[in-house]
Structure 1
Amino acid sequence: MPETLQPFLHDLELVFRAPTQAWSERDGQIRAATAGPGAPGASVCGVMHSDVRVLSEAILAVDGREPEPAGSWRDDDGRLVAVGLPRHVDGPGADPTARVLRARRVEAGLVEEEIELACATAEPVTAVVSVALAADFATMEAVKSGYATAPLAAVPAEGGLAWASAGGAVGEVTAVVEAPGAVVDLTDPARPVLRWTLTAAPAEPARASWRLAAEDRAAVVRGAAGPAPEAWCVPRPTADVRLARFLDQSLRDLAGLRMSLPALPGREFLGAGAPWFFTLFGRDSLWAARFLLPLGTELAEGTLAVLASFQGKRADVESQEEPGKIMHELRRAALTLHGENLSLPPIYYGTVDATPLWLCVLHDAWRAGMPDDAVERLLPRAERALAWVAAGVRDGYLTYLDTSGHGLANQGWKDSGDAVQFRDGRLAAGPISLCEVQAYAYEALVHGAELLEAFGRQGSDSLGTAPSQLRDAAAALAARFRGDFWLEDALGPYVAIALDGDGVPVDTVTSNMGHLLGTGLLSAAEEALVARRLVEPELDSGFGLRTLATSSAGYWPLKYHGGSVWAHDTAIAIRGLVLSGHSAEAARLAEGLLKAAESFEYRMPELHSGDPADGPGRVSRALPYPAACRPQAWSAASAVVVAGALGKL
C-alpha cells in the first residue's frame, strides 16, 4: 500500500466562492485528519485560499465535548447549515432539548461562521462554546498528495489571532481570525481556541460568531468582481423537477466558480473545479463557456480574452510553450505532485486540444451574438492559433509528446498515464494522435476560414492561413482520417481513440468518438455509425458514457479515464448528437446524466463510477468516484446541454 493516498471528497461538504473554499465533514467540523487505512493524518478538510490551506481545523465543542450530529444542508444563500445536539447539557428525559446550529458562509477571501445555542429546557442553559483552530498553510499539491503537515503557530491580533506564511513555496499569505466577544486562548499557539460563555433560554437563543480573512499577495487568479450574468439567475420552471433542480444547482455552482485575473479584472472565466483545479484551465474553461453559450456570450468573451493574453510566443521544452499555442493551466507556483514524476511550471502549455478549441469557441460565440468589435480584437490571436493548427496537420495530424520528462504524458482531455491503451491493455507509445483532436482541428480550420473572410482578413500564404489554404488543409485532414482511424469489430464500425507513434490505430472503443459529431469531420453516414455505437451498452452505462468500453481488458468502473463516466464528456456527445440530427440518442444520454445528477443531489461531480444502471451488476443510483472534484465547471455546465437536448431551454 502506498505511504500516502489522495484524500477522498465524496462524503465532504463544501462552501465556496472563488478563490476561497471551505471543506468540512457533513456535521460542519473541519478536522485536521480523517481515519482511513493508508492515509493517516491526511485530509482535504480546511479553508483553501488561492491553492494554500489557510485553516486546517475548526472543531466546535460545547463544554469540551463535540455535539452529536443531527443533520446538515445548504440553504438558499449557499451557506452550510449544520445542527448538533449537545445532550450533556440537556434537561431530563429522552427528548433532545438543546441544540447548536452552525451556519458557514464563504466569500472571496472570507469565511464567516455564526453559532447559535438554543434550548427548550425548564431553566436557561449556560455552556462554554469553543472552536479549536489550526492552520498548516499546506500547498494544494501537498494536500492532494495526502501529506499530513504540522500546524503553524498563531499570534495575537486585534480582536482575535493571525497566521502568516514564512515564505518558501507558499509565499506571502496571511490569515486573520476575528471573534467578537470570545476569549482567545493561545496557550498552545499551534492550536488556539476561541471560547464564548453563552446562556440560552427557551425562545431566547444565544449567538456567537467568528470570521477568517485570507490574503495571498502571490495570487494569479481572483474572484469575479460583479454578479453572475442575469441569464444564469432566471428560474426555469419545467414539469421535470429533476431538471429544474439540476439547472438551479449547476448555475449556482458556476456563479461561485467565476474568476478573473488581477491584470484583467473585467474578463471573467470559470475556474475548472474544487478543490484541485481552482484556477484557469484552457480546455476546461473553454468547454464550460461553450456549453453556456445558450445563456449569453459574456463568459465566452472573457475566457477567450484571458487565454489569448497567455498565447504562446516562443518554443520552450519545459513549459511546452509554442508560438500561437493556447495554455493548459495557470498556477501561483510550480506544481509538483509527489510520487507521480510530475512537475509543471506555473504557466503550462501541455495540451494538444486547447488551441483548436479556442478557435471553435471564438466562432461559436460570434455566431451566438458576441459583438463584432470584441471578435475583431481577437482575430490577430486567431491567426496565430490557426498557424499552429495548420502547421500541425499539414502532412499528418495534431499530435503530442512530452519531451520534458516530467510533464503530462497524455495531453488530451484524458490526461492520466493509462488513458490511451489498446483493447488488450497495452499502453500506446507516442507521439499520440487523438481522434477528437483531429475533429477539433478540422472544425477550427473551416470556421477559422469563415471568420477571416467575414472580417475581411486575408491570412498568410506563407503560414498556410489564407482561407482557401485552411479549407484545403481541412479537406485533406478529413480524407486522411477516413483512411486511418476507422476500425470494425463484432458490433460494427467505430473510430479508434488514437493512432500511436507508429501510426497504428489504438483499437479500444471509447467515448472519444462522440466528440467527432457535429464538427464536420465525418459524413452523415459516418455520424450515424458513431451515434449507434455510443448507445451500445458497452459504452452507455445508463448514467452517461463510459470513458472506456466494457469490452476492453483495462476497463474498470472506478478508473479515472478507464471506465468511469465524465459528465462533460457525455455532454459533448449529446451536443454533437443534437447537431448531427440524432435527437433520440441525445435524449437517451441526457436522461442518463439527469439520473446521475439526481444521485449527487444535483451537484454534478467531475466524474462518477461506470457501473451500469441496467443489466448484470446494475446499481439503483450512480455511484461516486470518491476523489472526484465537486463541483467541476464543465460538469455543472453540462446541465445546460442536457436541458437543450430535452427541449427545455
Structure 2
Amino acid sequence: MPDRNLQPLLHDLISTVRAPASVLCEPSGQIRAVGVQGMFHADVRVLSRAELSLDGRSVVPVANSPIGVGATAFVGLARWLGDPGPDPTVRVTRTRRLVPEGLDETITVTSTAAEPVSTVVSLAVDADLAPISPVKAGKTAAVDVRRSGLTWSAGDLSVAVTASADATVHDDTVSWAVTVAPHTSVAVSWQLRVTDPAALVRAPAAKAEWSRPTVTADDRRIERLVARSLDDLESLRLSLSTGPGDTFLGAGVPWYLTLFGRDSLWAARMLLPLGTEIAEGTLRVLAAHQGTAVDRDTGEAPGKILHELRRADTHASLPAAYFGSVDSTLLWISLLHDAWRWGLPAATVESLIPALEAALGWLGTYSDADGDGFLEYIDETGRGLANQGWKDSGDSIRFRTGQIATAPIALVEVQGYAYEAALHGAALLDAFDRPGAARWRDYAEAMAARFRDKFWVDGPTGSYPALALDRDKRPVDALTSNIGHLLGTGLLTAKETAQVADLLAAPAMSGGFGLRTMSTQDAAFSPLSYHCGSVWAHDTAIVIDRLARSGHAAAATTLADGLLAAAESFDYQLPELFGGDDRDALGRPVPYPAACRPQAWAAAAGVTLLHAATGLRPDVPAGTVSVTPLADAPLGAVTARGFRVGDASVDVTVAADGTASVSGLPATLRLEPAAH
C-alpha cells in the first residue's frame, strides 16, 4: 500500500503563541524537523529546527509551563553532569518568548553540584520557509531557500538567527562553552528575527480590547478556566497588515491563525460580557471585505461576509479571499445587534448600517438559490468546501443510517441564524430610521412556519429538528448538536425548546465531557470523528448559554459539568475538540490528535460559561439590564468583578442559593426585577 500524506498530529505538542507567530515543539522544548514542529509567522514556517544539546546529548525533560502570553519555560536535567548519586544537580531551563518581530530564547544552566561544572551548550537551527498549506497536508514544500550563515531567505521573506556575544557559529550550529560554579547559574541567549513585507497579518499595537474580570467561585475550575482562556485569547489577537488596524481574533493554532468569518465572529460574540471593542474591530474588518460581486470560484456574492482570508502564496486549495460560508453573514448581523445591546456606541453602529443593509440584501437575494425559503449551499467548483456550515468536513452531514447527504444542503442551525438575523436586522433598521424592518419581521414569521413544516422528524426518543434538508428536500434525520443552536433564536416554541433541551441533556448526547456533535444512537457516530461524535468546546458552550437563557438550567448544568471536567483534564486550555467517549470510559477525555490549541472560540467558551452562570443580560439602547443566573446556582456561588456594559465596569454576584446582585450599573440603566 503506498504511503499516504497525513495531516500532522498536534495533541502532544506544546504551543507558544503570540499572533501572528506560533511555536510548536516537543514537551522538552526541542524543535525537530518533523511534522508540524517549528515556528510559524503569518502562515510561513520560519524556524523548522532548534535542537538543544549539552556535550552533544539531549537533556532529560521534566516540566514545561506557560509563563505569560507568548512565553513558555521548559525544564530539563543534564543527569551526566554534576555530583554522582540519585539526585540531579544540573538543571537546564529554556525560556522562550515570542516578540512582535520574532523570538527570544534564554538557556539557563543551573548547578547545585559541589564542584564547578563545564559543558558545551549547542543549538542546531534551520528554516525551511514552508507555507503552512503543504505542512498541514503532510507534504514536503518545494521552497527555493537561500542560506547565508544563519540567515535564510526566499523572495522578500528573510529570517536571521543571532546569538549572545560569547557564542561560536559553525555551519548551522551555535555553541557556548560555559562553566557553572557551585550553586550558581549561567545564561546564554539567541534570537530570531523575521522580515516579511508580504505578511497579511500582524500583531496589534494596542493592549487587549477586553476587560479581565476577577472571578471567585465555589467551583475553582471556573476561575482557572477563565484565567487561562483570557491568556490564550490575548495571544490570538491580530490586525491586518494594511488598513486602519482593526483588531480581531485569529481562529486557532497552527492552521488558522488568520481572519476567519465564522470563528472570529463567534469568538467576539462570546466575549461581549467583557466589552464591545473586539466585536467592533471584527465587524469593521469583515465589512471592509464584504462581497460586492458574484464570483463562482470564490463563492463571493454582494453583501456576503467572507469565510477566510489568507496570503495568496500559502494556501494551495482555496482562493486567498474565500466566501464559502453559509452562516458568516448572518452571524455578522447578530454580532452587530448584540454588541449594540451591550453598549457599542450608537455612532459606531450607525457607521456599519450600510454593511448591515448589504448583508440583509444577501439574505434576501442570494442565500436561497432554489427559492424554497431556506438557506442552502453547494460548492460548484469542486475545489471549495463541500460543507459550508460550522461542521465543514466533507462527511459531516449524514442521515441516521450513516448515509452522507447530497448537496445542496439546508442546515438546521442556519435557518435559526437566519430567523434571528432577520429580527436583529429589523431592530437595527428601526432604531436607526432605515426602511425595511417590516419585510424582515415578515421573513422571520414565514421562516418559522416553513421550518416547523419541513424540518421536524420523529426518532426513537421523540421528535426533533433534522440536521438538514438534502438536495431532494428530504430531512437528514441524524440527531446532532446543531439543533442546540436554535435555542434562544425565537424560532422554536416553548414546548419545542423543552423537547430539544431534553434530548440534548440525555446520555446519548451529553454522556461525554460536554455535548456530543452526534448522538451515540446514530450509525455514523464515532467518538473521534471530527464532526460526528466528538465534543467541541465552543459548540457545548454556545448551547449551555442558550439553554440557560431558555430556562433549562438542569440541561445546561449537565453540559457545563462535563466541559469543566474536560478543562481540568487539559490544564484549563480547552482544545478545539476532543473525543466523545463516555465519561466513565477512561475518567478523562481522549484528545482529538489533530485539534488546534489554543483556538479562539474554544478559549472563549470559558467566558461563555462564566456568563451563563451569572446571567447578566443588558439592553443598553432600551436602558435596561436583567440578571438571570442558572436557577439554584448548580455550579455554586460565583462572583465576576469587571464585566463591561457600555463604558461601565459591572460586578455580578450569585450566592449559593441562586440569588443575584449587581453593582456598578450606570444611572442610565434600570435593573429589571428577576422573573419568577
**How does the TM-score come out when normalised to structure 1?**
0.92
Q: Any idea what SS the aligned residue of 2:8 has?
A: coil
Structure 1 counterpart of 2:230, one-letter code: L
Q: Please give the residue correspondences for 1:173-322 in structure 2 after superposition, counting only pairs within 5 Å.
A: 173-187=157-171, 192-229=172-209, 231-232=211-212, 234-322=213-301
1:40 paired residue number? none
Say which of 110, 113, 116 aligns to 2:108.
116
**Aligned residues of 1:49 and 1:109 also touching (Cα < 8 A):** no
Structure 2 residue runs of 5 or longer lacking an equivalent are 615-637, 641-676
**Aligned residues of 2:112 and 2:184 also touching (Cα < 8 A):** no
1:38 paired residue number? none
**Aligned residues of 1:609 and 1:623 also touching (Cα < 8 A):** yes
Say which of 323, 347, 363 aligns to 1:389.
363
2:405 paired with 1:428: yes
CA shift digits 1:371-423 (9 cap, x unpaired): 00000000001001001112335641111000111100000000000010111
Q: Any idea what SS the aligned residue of 2:76 has?
A: strand
1:625 paired residue number? 592
Say which of 316, 319, 331 aligns to 1:357.
331
CA shift digits 1:439-488 (9 cap, x unpaired): 00011111101100101111xxxxxxx11111111111110000000011
How far apart are residue 220 of structure 1 and its match?
A: 1.2
CA shift digits 1:155-176 (9 cap, x unpaired): 13xxxx31111x3xxxx22111
Say which of 111, 128, 135 aligns to 1:136.
128
CA shift digits 1:5-58 (9 cap, x unpaired): 11111111111100001111001100112xxxxxxxxx1111100000000110
2:603 paired residue number? 636
Distance 2:89 2:546 in 1: 57
1:36 paired residue number? none
How far apart are residue 533 of structure 1 and its match?
A: 0.8
2:466 paired residue number? 496
2:578 paired with 1:608: yes
Q: Please give the residue correspondences for 1:52-91 in structure 2 after superposition, counting only pairs within 5 Å.
A: 52-76=44-68, 79-91=71-83
2:660 paired residue number? none
How far apart are residue 230 of structure 1 and its match?
A: 5.1
How far apart are residue 186 of structure 1 and its match?
A: 4.0
**Aligned residues of 1:352 and 1:437 also touching (Cα < 8 A):** yes
**Aligned residues of 1:18 and 1:107 also touching (Cα < 8 A):** no
Bigger shift: residues 625-634 or 112-121: 112-121
CA shift digits 1:246-289 (9 cap, x unpaired): 00000000001011112334411100000000000001000001
Structure 1 counterpart of 2:492, one-letter code: L
**Aligned residues of 1:593 and 1:642 also touching (Cα < 8 A):** no
**Aligned residues of 1:390 and 1:470 also touching (Cα < 8 A):** no
1:163 paired residue number? 152
**Aligned residues of 1:399 and 1:431 also touching (Cα < 8 A):** yes
2:383 paired residue number? 406
**Aligned residues of 1:590 and 1:646 also touching (Cα < 8 A):** no
Structure 1 counterpart of 2:148, one-letter code: V
**Aligned residues of 1:73 and 1:80 also touching (Cα < 8 A):** yes
**Aligned residues of 1:19 and 1:109 also touching (Cα < 8 A):** no
Distance 1:93 1:376 in 2: 72
Structure 2 counterpart of 1:633, one-letter code: A
Q: Please give the residue correspondences for 1:360-371 in structure 2 after superposition, counting only pairs within 5 Å.
A: 360-371=334-345
Structure 2 counterpart of 1:15, one-letter code: T
Q: Please give the residue correspondences for 1:500-511 in structure 2 after superposition, counting only pairs within 5 Å.
A: 500-511=470-481
**Aligned residues of 2:44 and 2:314 also touching (Cα < 8 A):** no
Distance 1:562 1:77 in 2: 33
How far apart are residue 646 of structure 1 and its match?
A: 2.5
Say which of 89, 101, 118 aligns to 1:126.
118
**Aligned residues of 1:590 and 1:645 also touching (Cα < 8 A):** no
Structure 1 counterpart of 2:25, one-letter code: S
Q: Any idea what SS the aligned residue of 2:566 has?
A: helix
CA shift digits 1:102-150 (9 cap, x unpaired): 1111123321111111212222111110100011111111111112458
How far apart are residue 182 of structure 1 and its match?
A: 4.4
Bigger shift: residues 256-265 or 515-524: 256-265
1:516 paired residue number? 486
Say which of 418, 424, 427 aligns to 1:450.
427
Identity of aligned residues (%): 51
CA shift digits 1:472-530 (9 cap, x unpaired): 11111110000000011121111100000111000100000000000011111111111
How far apart are residue 76 of structure 1 and its match?
A: 4.4
Bigger shift: residues 101-110 or 530-539: 101-110
2:308 paired residue number? 329
1:96 paired residue number? 88
2:24 paired with 1:27: no
How far apart are residue 589 of structure 1 and its match?
A: 1.1
Distance 2:187 2:167 in 1: 15
Structure 2 counterpart of 1:456, one-letter code: D
CA shift digits 1:61-113 (9 cap, x unpaired): 11111112222222246521112212222232232221211111112332111
Structure 1 residue runs of 5 or longer lacking an equivalent are 34-42, 338-342, 459-465
Cα distance, 1:549–1:109 mapped onto 2, change above 3 Å: farther
Cα distance, 1:440–1:335 mapped onto 2, change above 3 Å: farther
How far apart are residue 334 of structure 1 and its match?
A: 5.4
**Aligned residues of 2:517 and 2:536 also touching (Cα < 8 A):** yes
2:416 paired residue number? 439
